[in-house]
Amino acid sequence: MQFYTLFQLQKDLDSNLHGGGVSGLQDFYSVVDKGRRSMIGKIRPAELIRKGYLEQALYPNVDRYAIPEDIKYKDVIEIGLLSGYRNVDTMNQPLELVTRRRFDQKRNTANNSMYIGYENGIKYAKILNPLGIAQNLNQNECDTQETNGIGYKLIHNCDSLSDNGTWNTGGNVINVREDKLLHVIGSGSIKFDIDSSGTSGYIENFTLEDFDLDDFRAKGAVFTWFNFPIPQNITSVRITLGSNTDDLLTDLYQSTVANPHDSNQWTLNWNLVKYMFNSMSTIGTPNPKALKYIRFDFTTNGQAIPNCNMDNILSRKGMVYEIVYNSSYCLIDPITKTWKKVGDGLGDIIVAEDDTYNILLWETTLSAQKELYGNSMGAESDVDGIQNQLAYAYQTYFKEHPSEALLTQDSSHIFGNIYDGYSDDTMYGFGGKIY
């Protein structure tokens, strides 16, 4: 379908305006964004429904997960298990979206509850005790039951510098030591400093006991915790897994991440870092059944980061969920095809059919005319006339698109077909599938 562009919106806006037209505005793009904000506060255009991924590699003592940044508030339509893709675990009850108060109080809140909120300006999802996860072991079980098929494989607990090999550092990473006070799991963590001598450094261990991750390559990820007291100085962290200790430059798996598992930016203190096996590159011919070497390379901005920590390196089998949601973005870059909130070029594509475009146009016209009127370049009657046009546009929209009108929100919403696979042996009729 051929959508409109900001160039067309600018032309239509100019013809709607009195008192100077578009040329009298301080910033055309900011006025369009005012119109967008007003529009999505009243309707949920079907054109703005998007599908993304919600990675659910569930892990002990972690309930936070990253979500697409353009989700409009908590307007999630559906969450479903992605068929045929790393679905090692099963979930036998649908997720229920609840309010923050209900989630935090844990009162009258079932397991498999989800809340979408913010912390330190970062949007995320929290999930309470997902049910039906295969072998959802606690940490003690995870540490002691390391055989393939369990779902976990501990690589190094980071409790001590003397257990399971020796840790070495290089580049701008210095002063490796034990920390028995600050840790996430177990009895300690490995502490190190990053100085300002350069923009790269590493910590490595090539005297590890052999570890077998073959069962996790197509189905899981490697996780570890990093504490960065000055997170803005970290750019990325690369993991290297090797099987050839005679030549540390070959027979490797490698992957680099620029943010933690549950956020789109590094956060103060502990960050849970995830490296998906199916996205790792290979150098040479690594043997996944007899890995002996692990290394983390840090890229920084050249500024010092003292008192960093690393804790608990393990691999975990996971699963991937699709998430369908209402986006708060309505523009697509014509070159990169990425969605964006605020336009910066007249070629930007407006994701809207005629009736939605018409509402955006009149909302933008109203915002523009108020700006012009505030500068004594318009007339109050013009503003009143635009408001009447806008009211008529919404009235028509609500009549033709009742499902897209914003209604009073329920306190909770259950995702998934709760009647699928019903049998006498299935509690509450939940058949082990989420669509």
Q: How far is CA 23 from CA 14, 18, 36, 378, in A?
A: 8, 11, 20, 13
Q: How far is CA 263 from CA 233, 300, 313, 395, 402, in A?
A: 16, 18, 19, 39, 35
Q: Is the pLDDT of residue 139 over 60?
A: no
pLDDT band at 427 (very low <50, low <70, confident <90, very high): very low
pLDDT in tens, 142-159: 443 433 334 678 899 999
pLDDT in tens, 171-184: 999 999 999 999 88
Residue 86 has a pLDDT of 34
User: Does the domain at residues 139-319 carry the CATH identifier 3.30.70.150?
Assistant: no
State which of 46-55, 58-67, 414-423 shows the largest mean pLDDT. 46-55
φ, ψ for residue 99, nearest 5 deg? -75, 160
pLDDT band at 193 (very low <50, low <70, confident <90, very high): very high
Low-confidence winner among 108-117, 164-173, 256-265 (lowest mean pLDDT): 108-117
State which of 55-64, 88-97, 100-109, 339-348 shows the largest mean pLDDT. 339-348
Low-confidence winner among 37-41, 85-89, 404-408 (lowest mean pLDDT): 85-89
Domain extents for the chain?
4-45+330-404, 48-134+321-326+417-429, 139-319
Q: How far is CA 403 from CA 43, 79, 272, 363, 400, in A?
A: 9, 19, 39, 21, 9
Asked if residue 327 lies in contact with residue 270, where contact means CB atoms within 8 angstroms, the answer is no
Q: Is the pLDDT of residue 63 over 90?
A: no
Residue 202 has a pLDDT of 97
Contacts of 242 (CB under 8 A, 6+ apart): 206, 248, 250, 251, 252, 253, 286, 291, 292, 293, 294, 295
Question: Exposed, middle or buried: residue 384 (CB in 10 Å: 0-12, 13-18, 19+)?
Answer: exposed
Q: Is the pLDDT of residue 320 over 80?
A: no
Residue 61 has a pLDDT of 44
Average pLDDT over residues 35-49: 90
Residue 386 has a pLDDT of 87
State which of 195-204, 275-284, 390-399 shows the largest mean pLDDT. 195-204
Phi-psi region of 428 (alpha: psi -120 to 50; beta: other; left: phi over 0): left
Q: pTM score, two decimals?
A: 0.60
pLDDT in tens, 351-398: 999 999 999 999 999 999 888 876 555 567 777 888 888 988 898 888
Question: Which of the pair, 128 or 87, is modelled with greater confidence?
Answer: 128
pLDDT in tens, 203-251: 999 999 999 999 888 767 898 999 999 999 999 999 999 999 999 999 9
